[in-house]
């Protein structure tokens, strides 16, 4: 027994998928009846950085987006914006276990990838190939899947310039002979692989993830490097502490009732300040304009709080909050940035998203909506199917032919009866004995 990830080979994954699909009509235990089937006339189809997306939904970067089989399963359930787990040069880490506690809100003490950098690339390559092959085998419309793999690197410029991360970036932009060999392996079990054109470029979009307390100058240097030297469409992940201590604590402790959650002063002292963030965003938008690429923000990073859970090891003095209370912080930060920066700044949203609020988030102008905490609850990746269904219902109710129509309709105050998000103000719920809650 081991608490470490053990990657499967391309051979093992190909054999598993082909055998289960032919023998049981399922993949990784997910029955075909639950596969999301895209249609050319889906109103929620969109694009990001010039690339088509069959849905605006996906998985937020986390431990579940490290492994090929997880990425493929999420795609089968409707995820199309795949935030790959952040890689860094220090890739032999001891991750405290358990590292995630998901009950009502979520907490984690997990930082970077649990795989070596090359292993991470191998997982992403396998998932990329399998998604393209399954798109053909399952008879989905179009020559290729409308899916985007969004890279993430951290945590400082010196680390990103190290040989192993540089190798990763080169391979993600051109997998070369590694792609050819993996396709041939997959084709032994899924012959369709020989008839599918799998792009050698896995990604040209990047989310910068930095440590809490990273100076504005360092964030700016890394972002400029990624845009100017690599030509990546780049987003910077922002922290909820930008709202300031008074507002953050009022939302978490008073408005939502999470009175046992302590947000320490240090969380604000060592994080980017809001005026600095506005200045930085203005500078980076100008760099992107000169480079002819897209710059945006990711909302938002988890909130640093004092560890008061017995789940985690005693030496973990801090933990990082996600889920429902995180949603309120992320929405408030999005609103403030919209007021001060304007509607032109692309925003990718990951903060307590679920099927009850995704249509509202899209109507508010979020470019993509990704989830992590919600997918750790009962139903797992199949919960994404609710995102699609709720959004389709909301769009039908206001006659929206596309997401832009949805935004305009909601701006005019046309809110469909029972639209997602039109529920009572969330209050903290105590876990019930009959409700799954666990730590992994």
Asked, for residue 334, whether it belongs to a domain, the answer is yes
pTM score: 0.92
233 three-state secondary structure = strand
Beta carbons within 8 Å of 438's beta carbon, 6+ residues apart: 102
Q: pLDDT tens digits, residue range 168-200?
A: 999 999 999 999 999 999 999 999 999 999 999
Asked, for residue 160, whether it belongs to a domain, the answer is yes
Q: Is the peptide bond before 400 cis (omega within 30 degrees of 0)?
A: no
Asked, for residue 1, whether it belongs to a domain, the answer is no
Asked, for residue 331, whether it belongs to a domain, the answer is yes
Give me the number of domains the chain comprises: 1
Asked, for residue 320, whether it belongs to a domain, the answer is yes
Q: What pLDDT does residue 205 have?
A: 98
Asked, for residue 336, whether it belongs to a domain, the answer is yes
Domain residues for the domain of 89 are: 10-435
- Are 77 and 382 in contact by the 8 Å Cβ rule? The answer is yes
Question: What would the mean pLDDT of 42-71 be, rounded to a whole number?
Answer: 95
| CA 22 – CA 284 distance, rounded (Å) | 50
| CA 284 – CA 420 distance, rounded (Å) | 34
Number of other residues whose CB lies within 10 A of the CB of residue 336: 16
Q: pLDDT tens digits, residue range 288-303?
A: 999 999 999 999 999 9
Q: pLDDT tens digits, residue range 378-432?
A: 999 999 999 999 999 999 999 999 999 999 998 888 655 444 444 334 444 443 3
- For β-strands 46-48 and 347-349, DSSP reports them as unpaired
| CATH number of the domain bearing residue 323 | 3.20.20.70
Asked, for residue 173, whether it belongs to a domain, the answer is yes
Question: What would the mean pLDDT of 329-335 be, rounded to a whole number?
Answer: 97
Asked, for residue 2, whether it belongs to a domain, the answer is no
What residues form DSSP beta bridges with 48? 51
Q: pLDDT tens digits, residue range 221-251?
A: 999 999 999 999 999 999 999 999 999 999 9
Q: What pLDDT does residue 11 have?
A: 96
- Are 307 and 318 in contact by the 8 Å Cβ rule? The answer is yes
Distances (CA, A) of 407 to 66, 146, 330, 401: 33, 22, 19, 11
């Amino acid at each position: 027994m081991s608490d470490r990830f053990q990657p499967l080979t391309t051979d093992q994954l190909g054999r598993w998928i082909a055998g289960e699909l032919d023998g049981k009509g399922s993949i990784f235990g997910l029955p075909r009846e639950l596969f999301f089937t895209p249609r050319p006339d889906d109103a929620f189809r969109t694009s990001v950085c010039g690339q088509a997306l069959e849905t605006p939904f996906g998985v937020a970067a986390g431990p579940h987006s490290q492994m090929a089989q997880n990425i493929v399963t999420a795609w089968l359930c409707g995820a199309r914006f795949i935030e790959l787990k952040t890689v860094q040069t220090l890739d032999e880490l001891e991750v405290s276990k358990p590292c995630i506690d998901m009950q009502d809100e979520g907490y984690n003490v997990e930082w970077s990838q649990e795989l070596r950098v090359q292993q991470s690339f191998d997982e992403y390559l396998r998932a990329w190939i399998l998604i393209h092959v399954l798109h053909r085998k399952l008879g989905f419309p179009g020559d290729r899947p409308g899916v985007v793999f969004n890279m993430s690197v951290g945590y400082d410029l010196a680390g990103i310039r190290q040989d192993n991360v540089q190798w990763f970036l080169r391979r993600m932009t051109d997998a070369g002979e590694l792609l050819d060999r993996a396709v041939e392996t997959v084709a032994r079990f899924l012959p369709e692989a020989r008839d599918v054109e799998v792009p050698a470029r896995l990604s040209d979009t990047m989310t910068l993830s930095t440590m809490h307390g990273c100076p504005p100058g360092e964030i700016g240097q890394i972002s400029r490097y990624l845009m100017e030297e690599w030509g990546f469409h780049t987003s910077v992940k922002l922290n909820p502490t930008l709202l300031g201590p008074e507002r953050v604590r009022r939302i978490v402790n008073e408005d939502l009732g999470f009175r046992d959650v302590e947000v320490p002063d240090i969380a604000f002292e060592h994080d980017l300040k809001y005026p600095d963030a506005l200045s930085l965003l203005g500078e980076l938008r100008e760099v992107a304009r000169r480079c002819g690429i897209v710059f945006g923000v990711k909302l938002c990073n988890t909130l640093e709080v004092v560890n008061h859970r017995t789940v985690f090891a005693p030496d973990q003095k801090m933990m990082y909050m996600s889920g429902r209370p995180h949603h309120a912080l992320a929405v408030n930060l999005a609103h403030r940035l919209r007021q001060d920066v304007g509607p032109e700044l692309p925003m990718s949203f990951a903060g307590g998203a679920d099927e009850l609020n995704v249509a509202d988030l899209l109507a508010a102008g979020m470019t993509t909506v990704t989830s992590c905490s919600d997918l750790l609850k009962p139903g797992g990746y199949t919960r994404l199917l609710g995102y699609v269904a709720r959004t389709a219902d909301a769009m039908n109710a206001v006659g929206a032919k596309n997401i832009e129509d949805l935004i305009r309709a909601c701006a005019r105050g046309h809110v469909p009866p029972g639209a997602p998000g039109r529920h009572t103000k969330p209050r903290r719920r105590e876990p019930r004995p009959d409700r799954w809650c666990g730590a992994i």
